[in-house]
């Protein structure tokens, strides 16, 4: 009896029943991968840099000792907020990337069907995959815990904030990871999973609360109250953490803030994760069984491939679709034969219809509130469209060669008599072609509101200049990384990291460093004014309400240029970035035949 | 002609190909065999200009593969050990794409593609997407792609792997046909019995070094693997064994159930002697069947099967 009870309890508390041997295998494999150590190192390095810079900027060593002491409490709160925000964003991003290939790798390597021939069930497969990555993410979160604890002791930050932010981050990571894992069942390509997950999160955490608030405002003529705001944001970790942080930084503002019970929020996030994981378990089982019974690659193959396979015996139907003839340079033909708006016409139409409907609804709501006269509205739209364009360009450019490597057609292409330059040109033009539709949002917005008289027509030309160099630059860097790496995911991450560093992290660090040292302002101004987001903001600001008055970024000085001067500056930036883009593309050509995998 | 001189390829500390000297004459079918990781694929990749050798030289029809990459690629058709496919490209489009990539004029492409489709018996699949083809069909398509620019030299890395028996036989026939057309073919395969049937010369590679190159007969002779015959008699098997053992041309006589395995001495071969001897002794012969020379035996003797 005792033995049976002991056995029951040891089984109950043994994680093996939850994950099977998969967790053990995943942990073994991940410990052998260099990238995990690099990731931890990069995480700690970035965290340290941010903390040090925030510390230096808040304490300001130029003042007296008394002044410096008076800054300590602010410094502690700011440092804790920095750490919490950093780990909140970083761990979610890492979770999306880490789990983006969790199931697809098993499907692609045909090991999922093999797993189904063992006593392991699909629940254990899903949990094993999730927990193995979660353990690594918890390790990253744990790295900053001692720092948080020390700063808390000296800074008077409430324990409640430390614990709640940790739990909010953890539950958000579980939800985001579950979502990424779910999408990885349906796509082999990690970048597709990453983009779809980010877009889904954007809809859940940004578009839905925004639309709900705007709709409420449009119906009632008033903004949602505290209770309703809390209801709208309860499923949103960004909102909950934001309000918690605001309450901690400025407790006096608490009266005007919506109240959030963080355990309830965490419970909601865990429940949502459970729903997503249940769906994953069901779908993994379906895919695994299909693979185990010999219907391999089922979730990856396109429906049309099935149709073709099914009708393979029927010659009449095979001949029904007439193949297209190759025209012009072969690589260029292959790249351009890809339909601009995707292959699945019905799905594309429905997707475009839903997106455009949502977009026009937001325009209608803005028009109702007379926000279309406001420059900030146009800046917001333009920046969002620019960000979307950059994201898609980064991804598409990075996939152009790695996708050939992954489908193993790259050596075949290199074994032909084509010059490397022909291949490079074809790939480059193909990338521009595929990127074009996403930039229609930015162009469309500018053109429509220019025709409607809200935006000055010169903005169309200036946006054209901006888009041209952003696309050429990112296509060049994408081609380079695509030629360097075997896997699409690595190339996408590298291209994304480059864009994030030069247009996000570096400017941020430079602003903080210049703020501390008070040197190098001129260089910072010039550097910041080459940033595409600054360009977009300046163009939209000058085109909506202040025609001809372009206010470029400056630190304490007047930097207003007229239309001609600003356009000239934009052309200078265009030439510089385009040259850089071509340089990267040129270097890519040299890497074509190195390490062809 | 394919020729390599002291060809060496290092991957870091690993030497994949080590001072390889190889000569393949025009119009030959050369079987390139070796254990996994022996350096076959690396050698082939160097010959088709996909890899640069660390040392040494390789020539295709007298052209240095390092210096005349583009000209060499025009001469060579390479079929790798995997099928690289483009999603959503149809069979005809796939072949025409490669025809265009090899610089074939547009007006000639259609007839050329139709020709190779016919040669590889893929006409019925011309409008099917490549990724929906079965493994065997994809191998055929790979062969069709190799032939699209009418190369003088074919380098085929395991073209028959994963194929069913019918498809293997068809590919074998196709290779014979290509040989008749005057192509020089270098082929690697793990199915040695097939290479025995189609290859004029065999090269055995291990640890990146060529351990033997020559005809099958030369290999067997060098290893002392003699020809054998199987003899079946209707009655008095013991007497037959006695008579055959006494013959000076015969080295060994063994009984396996209802047949006698007879091994000749080196350089000796004589079914006629056996028949005469048994008939003279009034023994009823059921069959005298020459036992086929086995490349497997030679391969096992020449290689240690150690992968590095």
pLDDT at A311: 42
CB contact under 8 A, A305 and B131: yes
8 A C-beta contact, residue B91 and residue B133: yes
pLDDT at A550: 81
- Chain B residues in contact with chain A using a Cβ-Cβ cutoff of 8 Å: 45, 48-52, 70, 73-74, 76, 78, 80, 82-93, 96-103, 106, 109-110, 124-129, 131-132, 145, 149
pLDDT exceeds 60 at position A198: yes
Tokens coding B9: 């390829």
How sure is the predictor about A293, in pLDDT bands with cuts at 50, 70 and 90? low
The values of phi and psi at residue A263, to 5°, are -60, -35
CB contact under 8 A, B50 and A593: yes
CB contact under 8 A, B93 and A326: yes
Which long-range CB contacts under 8 A does A530-534 form with residues at least 24 apart? Answer: A530/A573, A530/A576, A530/A577, A531/A503, A531/A507, A532/A386, A532/A390, A532/A466, A532/A470, A532/A503, A533/A383, A533/A386, A533/A387, A533/A503
Mean pLDDT over B187-191 rounds to 86
Give the residue on B whose Cα is nearest the Cα of A596: B50
User: d(Cα A13, Cα A8) in Å, to the nearest integer?
Assistant: 9
pLDDT at A312: 43
Query: What percentage of chain A carries pLDDT values higher than 70?
Result: 85
pLDDT exceeds 80 at position B305: no
Q: DSSP 3-state assignment of A425?
A: helix
Tokens coding A575: 């030439």
Asked if A279 and A379 sit in the same domain, the reply is no
Q: Are strands B184-188 and B153-157 parallel, antiparallel or unpaired?
A: parallel
| Least-confidence region, from A12-26, A35-49, A204-218, B199-213 | A12-26
User: d(Cα A33, Cα B169) in Å, to the nearest integer?
Assistant: 44
8 A C-beta contact, residue B289 and residue B229: yes
Q: Report the sign of the C-alpha dihedral through residues A529, A531, A535, A537, in that order.
A: negative
pLDDT exceeds 50 at position A299: no
pLDDT at A68: 67
Asked if A244 and A367 sit in the same domain, the reply is no
Chain centroid to Cα B300, Å, comes to 16
pLDDT digits (tens, 9 = 90+) for B29-86: 999 988 888 899 999 999 998 888 999 999 999 999 999 988 999 999 999 888 777 7
Asked if A385 and A506 sit in the same domain, the reply is yes
Is A485 within a domain?
A: yes
pLDDT at A465: 95
How sure is the predictor about A305, in pLDDT bands with cuts at 50, 70 and 90? very low
The values of phi and psi at residue B255, to 5°, are -105, 125
pLDDT at A480: 95
pLDDT at B226: 65
Asked if A348 and A280 sit in the same domain, the reply is no
8 A C-beta contact, residue B104 and residue B148: yes
Q: Name the β-bridge partners of B23.
A: B3
8 A C-beta contact, residue A533 and residue A389: no
Could you count the other beta carbons within 10 Å of the beta carbon of residue B98? 25
Is A10 within a domain?
A: no
Asked if A135 and A63 sit in the same domain, the reply is yes
Is A3 within a domain?
A: no
Give the residue on B whose Cα is nearest the Cα of A315: B124
CB contact under 8 A, B80 and A412: yes
CB contact under 8 A, A321 and B127: yes
Could you count the other beta carbons within 10 Å of the beta carbon of residue A385? 23
How sure is the predictor about A555, in pLDDT bands with cuts at 50, 70 and 90? low
Give the class (CATH, top level) of B226-290: alpha beta
User: d(Cα B261, Cα A171) in Å, to the nearest integer?
Assistant: 76
Domain coverage including residue A269: 17-298
pLDDT digits (tens, 9 = 90+) for B98-111: 999 888 888 889 99
Asked if A87 and A171 sit in the same domain, the reply is yes
pLDDT at A14: 65
CB contact under 8 A, B84 and A324: no
Asked if A294 and A348 sit in the same domain, the reply is no
- End position of a domain, from candidates A283, A298, A313: A298
The values of phi and psi at residue A285, to 5°, are -60, -45
Tokens coding A158: 């409430």
CB contact under 8 A, B87 and A414: no
pLDDT at A338: 67
Distance from CA of A323 to the nearest CA of B (A): 6
Mean pLDDT over B125-145 rounds to 85
pLDDT at B307: 47
Mean pLDDT over A467-477 rounds to 95
How sure is the predictor about A315, in pLDDT bands with cuts at 50, 70 and 90? very low
How sure is the predictor about A275, in pLDDT bands with cuts at 50, 70 and 90? very high
| Least-confidence region, from A493-497, A593-597, B168-172 | A593-597
pLDDT at B270: 64
Mean pLDDT over A83-97 rounds to 89
Asked if A127 and A240 sit in the same domain, the reply is yes
Is A365 within a domain?
A: yes
Selected residue with higher pLDDT from A486 and A307:
A486
ipTM, 2 dp: 0.75
pTM greater than the 0.80 cutoff: no
Is A115 within a domain?
A: yes
* Residue whose pair of structure tokens reads 């247009």 in the numeric block: A503
Tokens coding A522: 């001129």
Mean pLDDT over B215-228 rounds to 73
| Chain B residues in contact with A333 (beta carbon < 8 A) | 97, 100
Tokens coding A70: 């008076």
Selected residue with higher pLDDT from A218 and A420:
A420
Architecture of the CATH domain B2-221? 3-Layer(aba) Sandwich (3.40)
Selected residue with higher pLDDT from A266 and A345:
A266
Mean pLDDT over A83-107 rounds to 87
Asked if A293 and A367 sit in the same domain, the reply is no
Average pLDDT, chain A: 81
- Chain A residues in contact with chain B using a Cβ-Cβ cutoff of 8 Å: 301-302, 304-306, 308-309, 312, 315, 318-327, 329-331, 333-334, 343, 404, 407-419, 593, 596
| Chain A residues in contact with B48 (beta carbon < 8 A) | 415
| Chain B residues in contact with A345 (beta carbon < 8 A) | none
Closest CA to A492 of A587, A405, A397: A397
Question: Environment class of residue A367 by beta-carbon count within 10 Å: exposed (0-12), middle (13-18) or buried (19+)?
Answer: middle
Considering A63-72, B219-228, B251-260, the range whose residues carry the highest mean pLDDT is: B251-260
Give the residue on B whose Cα is nearest the Cα of A320: B127
How sure is the predictor about A314, in pLDDT bands with cuts at 50, 70 and 90? very low
pLDDT at A385: 93
Average pLDDT, chain B: 85
Is A322 within a domain?
A: no
Tokens coding B124: 């019925």
Mean pLDDT over A135-157 rounds to 79
Asked if A277 and A344 sit in the same domain, the reply is no
Q: Which residues contact A168 (CB under 8 A, 6 or more apart)?
A: A88, A237, A240, A241, A244, A262, A265, A266
Asked if A361 and A489 sit in the same domain, the reply is yes
Asked if A259 and A338 sit in the same domain, the reply is no
Mutant choice from B129, B141, B151, B156 vs A, greatest count of A C-beta within 10 A: B129
pLDDT at A304: 42
pLDDT digits (tens, 9 = 90+) for A389-412: 998 899 889 988 988 888 888 888
Out of A306, A330, A415, closest to residue B73 by CB: A415
CB contact under 8 A, B91 and A302: no
Is A304 within a domain?
A: no
* Residue whose pair of structure tokens reads 């800074």 in the numeric block: A155
CB contact under 8 A, B50 and A418: no
Total number of domains constituting chain A: 2
Give the residue on A whose Cα is nearest the Cα of B99: A330
Is A6 within a domain?
A: no
Query: What percentage of chain B carries pLDDT values higher than 70?
Result: 94
Chain centroid to Cα B50, Å, comes to 22
How sure is the predictor about A354, in pLDDT bands with cuts at 50, 70 and 90? confident
pLDDT exceeds 90 at position A170: yes
| Chain A residues in contact with B86 (beta carbon < 8 A) | 334, 407, 409
């Amino acid at each position: 009896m005792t033995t049976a009870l002991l056995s029951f309890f040891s089984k109950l508390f043994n994680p093996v029943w939850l994950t099977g041997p998969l967790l053990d295998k995943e942990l073994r494999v991940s410990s052998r991968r260099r990238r995990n150590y690099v990731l931890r190192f990069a995480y700690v390095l970035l965290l340290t840099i941010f903390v040090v810079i925030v510390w230096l900027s808040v304490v300001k060593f130029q003042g007296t000792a008394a002044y410096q002491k008076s800054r300590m409490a602010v410094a502690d709160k700011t440092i804790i907020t920095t750490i919490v925000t950093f780990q909140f964003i970083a761990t979610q991003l890492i979770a999306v990337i880490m789990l983006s290939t969790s199931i697809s790798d098993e499907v692609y390597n045909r090991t999922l069907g093999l797993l189904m021939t063992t006593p392991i069930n699909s629940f254990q497969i899903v949990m094993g995959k999730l927990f193995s990555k979660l353990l690594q993410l918890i390790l990253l979160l744990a790295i900053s815990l001692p720092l948080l604890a020390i700063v808390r002791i000296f800074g008077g930050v409430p324990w409640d904030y430390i614990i709640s932010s940790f739990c909010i981050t953890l539950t958000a990571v579980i939800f985001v990871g579950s979502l990424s894992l779910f999408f990885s069942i349906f796509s082999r390509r990690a970048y597709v999973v990453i983009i779809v997950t980010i877009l889904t999160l954007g809809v859940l955490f940004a578009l839905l609360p925004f639309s709900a608030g705007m709709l409420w405002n449009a119906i009632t003529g008033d903004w949602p109250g505290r209770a309703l705001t809390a209801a709208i944001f309860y499923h949103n970790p960004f909102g909950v953490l934001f309000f918690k942080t605001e309450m901690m930084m400025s407790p006096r503002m608490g009266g005007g803030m919506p109240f959030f019970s963080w355990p309830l929020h965490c419970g909601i996030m865990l429940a949502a994760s459970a729903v997503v994981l249940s769906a994953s378990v069901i779908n993994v089982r379906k895919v695994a069984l299909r693979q185990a019974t010999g219907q391999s690659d089922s979730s990856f193959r396109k429906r049309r491939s099935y149709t073709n396979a099914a009708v393979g015996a029927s010659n009449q139907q095979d001949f029904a679709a007439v193949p297209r003839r190759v025209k012009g340079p072969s690589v260029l033909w292959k790249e351009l034969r890809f339909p601009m708006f995707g292959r699945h016409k019905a799905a594309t139409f429905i997707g475009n219809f839903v997106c455009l409907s949502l977009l026009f609804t937001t325009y209608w709501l803005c028009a109702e509130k007379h926000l279309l006269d406001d420059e900030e509205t146009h800046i917001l739209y333009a920046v969002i469209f620019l960000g979307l364009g950059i994201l898609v360009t980064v991804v598409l450019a990075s996939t152009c060669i790695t996708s050939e490597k992954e489908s193993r057609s790259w050596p075949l292409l290199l074994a032909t008599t084509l010059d490397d330059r022909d291949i490079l040109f074809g790939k480059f033009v193909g990338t521009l072609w595929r990127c074009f539709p996403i930039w229609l949002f930015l162009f469309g917005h500018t053109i429509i509101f220019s025709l409607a008289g809200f935006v000055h027509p010169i903005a169309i030309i200036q946006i054209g200049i901006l888009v041209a160099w952003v696309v050429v630059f990112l296509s060049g860097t994408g081609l380079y990384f695509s030629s360097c790496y075997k896997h699409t995911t690595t190339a996408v991450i590298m291209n994304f990291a480059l864009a994030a560093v030069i247009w996000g992290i570096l400017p941020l660090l430079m602003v903080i460093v210049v703020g501390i040292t008070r040197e190098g302002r001129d260089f910072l101004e010039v550097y910041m004014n080459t940033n595409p987001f600054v360009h977009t903001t300046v163009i939209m600001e000058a085109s909506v309400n202040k025609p001809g008055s372009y206010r470029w970024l400056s630190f304490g000085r007047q930097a207003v240029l007229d239309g001609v001067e600003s356009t000239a500056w934009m052309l200078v930036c265009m030439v510089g970035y385009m040259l850089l883009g071509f340089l990267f593309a040129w270097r890519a050509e040299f890497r074509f035949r190195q390490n062809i995998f | 002609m394919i020729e390599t001189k002291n060809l060496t390829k290092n991957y870091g500390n690993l030497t994949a190909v080590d001072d390889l000297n190889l000569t393949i004459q025009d119009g030959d079918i050369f079987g390139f065999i070796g254990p996994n990781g022996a350096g076959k694929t690396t050698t082939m990749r160097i010959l088709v200009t996909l890899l640069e050798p660390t040392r040494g030289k390789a020539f295709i029809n007298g052209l240095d593969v390092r210096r005349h990459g583009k000209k060499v690629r025009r001469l060579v058709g390479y079929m790798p050990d995997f099928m690289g496919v483009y999603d959503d490209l149809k069979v005809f489009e796939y072949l025409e794409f490669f025809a265009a990539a090899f610089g074939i004029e547009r007006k000639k492409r259609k007839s050329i593609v139709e020709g190779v489709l016919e040669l590889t018996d893929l006409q019925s699949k011309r409008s099917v997407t490549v990724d929906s083809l079965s493994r065997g069909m994809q191998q055929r398509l790979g062969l069709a792609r190799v032939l699209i620019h009418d190369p003088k030299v074919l380098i085929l890395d395991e073209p028959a792997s994963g194929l069913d028996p019918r498809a293997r036989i068809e590919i074998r026939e196709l290779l014979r046909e290509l040989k008749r057309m005057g192509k020089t073919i270098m082929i690697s395969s793990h199915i040695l019995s097939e290479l025995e049937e189609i290859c004029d010369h065999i090269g055995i590679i291990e640890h990146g070094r060529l351990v033997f190159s020559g005809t099958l007969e030369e290999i067997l002779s060098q290893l002392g693997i003699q020809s054998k015959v199987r003899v079946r008699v209707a009655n008095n098997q013991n007497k037959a064994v006695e008579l055959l053992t006494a013959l000076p041309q015969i080295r060994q006589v063994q009984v396996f159930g209802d047949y006698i395995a007879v091994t000749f001495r080196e350089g000796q071969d004589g079914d006629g002697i056996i028949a005469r001897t048994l008939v003279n002794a009034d023994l009823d012969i059921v069959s005298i069947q020459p036992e086929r020379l086995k490349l497997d035996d030679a391969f096992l003797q020449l290689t240690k099967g150690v992968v590095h």
